[in-house]
């Protein structure tokens, strides 16, 4: 049911772990629903110099986290913000239909981390990032992630 | 690669005895049992013998055994048939919150047709009490359907006692015994149930065949109509080979039950003892009254499907009741019914073994699983948060 690429990123996840000098951290998902994704970034001069993740979730959640970090590593913030869930899915050679929400989570995780980066600098991220999917930070209700 | 099959509650390998019992009925004695010439008569004789064997293994007589297309059909027939049979008496059915979907979804469907269903809640071990059942029975209750043993957590329910309560109030009793038959001693006359569902592939028979025991005198209307096979109760040309395989497998299981229970439950206990040494792990299901082959757990801070995938890479076949295993956002109804919070239920693992497993299989699982859990926890932000909180 999973592609070879998904299995590869699940068994050998890239960029897994904490980033001690991260200046942008975003957490999305909900343990009740069975997946939670935390993205750490080190951003310098608008470039994502380093990135890592930690994920509680199924094979697809871990693989999409891994792939998303690979896709935005070394990219500018603008490039990272344009990452879509379908780009992550395509890079993994597809996901089973019931797992597509995992790729949405990866896109949201990247946006949440960038939102945190702006917030730390006293900049309202919403005009730039859009909704950062970090419900605790923006106090607006989200129902369907 | 070494393969350790530990998902026998999902299905089992067909035993050599069962396979050999089936083979002649595909190629040699392939006749339709309803025909009168010799090739058909041979098939009829085999079907009759299979029915007698199944009946004997369940402690009853051949005329009370009806072959079906499996456990799901048997459950559907018992529930839908009773609903039709007793609709003048009432439209209330009692079951439990931890039944198999074959029972639960059938009850849900009847709710759309004007029936009312009470889903008895269970305690932390998956048990229901006689008092709970007594309190739920109403004037218009027509059926109680409670499983003999649970497929996810292995809890064995006190069917004899529960059935007596239903009968005190004149209510029919059905039990889904799919996980119990062939694994624990079971006698329909001693239990005194009115209907009991069986599935062959859970005790090393083939898939696609099961049976419903229907107590004599209970005129359960058919679910499938047609050519009038199975005494008019279940139409469709009989699965002769399947029935022979089922009968042989069941006969074999019953014959070796004492030794199998002893061997399998000792391996199960080694699994439980060994895996509960992992921090933040819990056994699910009744610690005492449980199926000999079911070792079921939750491991906190990780998700079940990623455990299953990791075990698969090591050649171990197991299952989980996590949401991602089911394709929804909710973990299994059984795990939530025993009171587990969703985030904990997502970390469930069921290892179900049988007599084909060896002590070496158990050793292999015991050495393979702990590092998998550690690896997934090291990747989990929930574990990170917990450890930080713990240190703070």
> What percentage of chain B's residues is helix, strand, coil (to nearest 5)?
45, 15, 40
Predicted TM-score (pTM) of the model is 0.94
Chain B nearest-CA distance from A130, in A, is: 25
Residues of B in contact with A60 (CB under 8 A): 324
Yes or no: say if B230 and B66 are a contact pair by the CB < 8 Å rule.
yes
Per this entry, what is the length of chain B?
392
- pLDDT tens-digit map of A17-35: 999 999 999 999 988 878 9
Domain ranges of chain A: 4-144
Beta bridge partners of B350: B296, B319
Give A60→chain B minimum CA distance, Å. Answer: 9
Angle between helix B257-275 and helix B359-379 axes, rounded to 10 deg: 30
Considering only CB atoms, which chain A residues are within 8 Å of B304? 58
The CATH number of domain A4-144 is 3.40.50.300: no
Touching A: B residues 342-361, CB under 8 Å = 342-343, 346
Contact A61 B303 (CB under 8 A): yes
CB < 8 Å to A7, chain B: 309
Of the partner residues A13, A31, A62, the one whose CB lies closest to the CB of residue B382:
A31
Which residues are bridge partners to B116 per DSSP? B92
**Is any Cβ of chain A less than 8 angstroms from the Cβ of B280?**
no
Cβ-defined contact of A35 to B324 (cutoff 8 Å) = yes
pLDDT in tens, chain B (392 residues): 899 999 999 999 999 999 999 999 999 999 999 999 999 999 999 999 999 999 999 999 999 999 999 999 999 999 999 999 999 999 999 999 999 999 999 999 999 999 999 999 999 999 999 999 999 999 999 999 999 999 999 999 999 999 999 999 999 999 999 999 999 999 999 999 999 999 999 999 999 999 999 999 999 999 999 999 999 999 999 999 999 999 999 999 999 999 999 999 999 999 999 999 999 999 999 999 999 999 999 999 999 999 999 999 999 999 998 766 555 668 899 999 999 999 999 999 999 999 999 999 999 999 999 999 999 999 999 998 898 888 87
The burial of B50, by beta-carbon neighbours within 10 Å (0-12 exposed, 13-18 middle, 19 or more buried), is given as: buried
B322/A contact by beta carbon, under 8 A: yes
Are residues A58 and B305, on separate chains, in Cβ contact within 8 Å? yes
Tally of CA atoms within 13 A in the half-sphere of A2 that contains its CB: 23
Q: How far apart are CA B308 and CA B114, in angstroms?
A: 41
Inter-chain touch A58–B324, beta carbons under 8 Å? yes
Name the residues of A annotated as catalytic.
Answer: 33, 102
**In angstroms, how far is CA A64 from the centroid of its own chain?**
8
Task: Indicate which residue of B107, B244, B317, B324 is catalytic.
Answer: B324
- Best probe of the B interface among A58, A63, A101, A113, by most B CBs < 10 A, is A58
First to last CA, chain B: 44
* Predicted complex ipTM: 0.90
CB B55 within 8 A of CB B62: yes
Residues in chain B closer than 8 A to A27 (CB atoms): 381
3-class DSSP state of A56:
strand
A31 CB within 8 Å of a chain B CB: yes
Q: Is B324 marked active-site?
A: yes
């Amino acid at each position: 049911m999973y592609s070879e690429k998904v299995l590869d990123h699940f068994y050998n996840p890239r960029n897994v772990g904490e980033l001690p000098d991260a200046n942008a951290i975003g957490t999305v998902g909900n343990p009740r629903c069975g997946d939670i994704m935390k993205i750490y970034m080190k951003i310098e001069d608008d470039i994502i110099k380093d990135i890592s993740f930690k994920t509680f979730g199924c094979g697809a959640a871990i693989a999409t986290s891994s792939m998303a970090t690979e896709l935005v590593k070394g990219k500018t913030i603008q490039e990272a913000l344009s990452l879509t869930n379908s780009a992550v899915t395509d890079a993994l050679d597809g996901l089973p239909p019931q797992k597509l929400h995992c790729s949405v989570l990866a896109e949201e995780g990247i946006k949440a981390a960038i939102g945190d980066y702006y917030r730390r600098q006293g900049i309202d991220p919403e005009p730039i990032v859009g909704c950062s999917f970090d419900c605790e930070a923006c106090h607006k209700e989200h129902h369907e992630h | 690669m070494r393969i350790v099959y530990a998902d026998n509650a999902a299905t089992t390998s067909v035993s050599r005895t069962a396979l050999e019992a089936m083979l002649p009925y595909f190629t040699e004695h392939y006749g339709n049992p309803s025909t009168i010439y010799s090739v058909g008569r041979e098939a009829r004789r085999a079907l009759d013998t299979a029915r007698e064997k199944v009946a004997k293994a369940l402690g009853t007589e051949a005329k009370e055994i009806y072959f079906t297309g499996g456990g799901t059909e048997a459950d559907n027939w018992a529930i839908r048939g009773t609903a039709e049979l007793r609709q003048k008496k009432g439209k209330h059915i009692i079951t439990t919150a931890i039944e198999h979907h074959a029972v639960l979804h059938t009850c849900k469907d009847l709710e759309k047709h004007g029936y009312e269903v009470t889903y008895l809640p269970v305690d932390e071990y998956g048990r229901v009490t006689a008092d709970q059942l007594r309190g739920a029975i109403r004037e218009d209750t027509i059926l109680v359907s409670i499983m003999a043993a649970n497929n996810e957590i292995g809890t064995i329910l006190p069917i004899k006692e529960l059935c007596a309560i239903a009968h005190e109030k004149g209510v029919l009793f059905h039990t889904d015994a799919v996980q119990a038959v062939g694994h624990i001693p079971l006698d329909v006359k001693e239990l005194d149930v009115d209907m009991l569902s069986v599935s062959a592939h859970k005790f090393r028979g083939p898939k696609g065949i099961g049976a419903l025991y229907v107590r004599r005198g209970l005129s359960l209307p058919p679910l499938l109509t047609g050519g009038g096979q199975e005494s008019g109760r279940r139409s469709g040309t009989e699965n002769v080979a399947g029935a022979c395989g089922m009968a042989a497998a069941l006969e074999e299981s019953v014959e070796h039950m004492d030794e199998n229970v002893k061997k399998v439950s000792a391996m199960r206990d080694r699994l439980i003892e060994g895996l509960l040494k992992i921090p933040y792990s819990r056994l699910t299901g009744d610690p005492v009254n449980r199926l000999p082959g079911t070792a079921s757990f939750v491991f906190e801070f990780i998700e079940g499907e990623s455990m299953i995938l990791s075990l698969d890479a090591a050649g171990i076949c197991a299952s989980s009741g996590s949401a991602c295993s089911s394709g929804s956002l909710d973990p299994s109804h059984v795990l939530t019914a025993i009171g587990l919070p969703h985030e904990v239920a997502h970390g469930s693992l069921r290892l179900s073994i049988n007599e084909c497993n060896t002590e070496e299989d158990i050793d292999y699982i015991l050495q393979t699983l702990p590092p998998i859990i550690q690896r997934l926890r090291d990747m989990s932000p929930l574990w990170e948060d917990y450890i930080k909180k713990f240190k703070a």
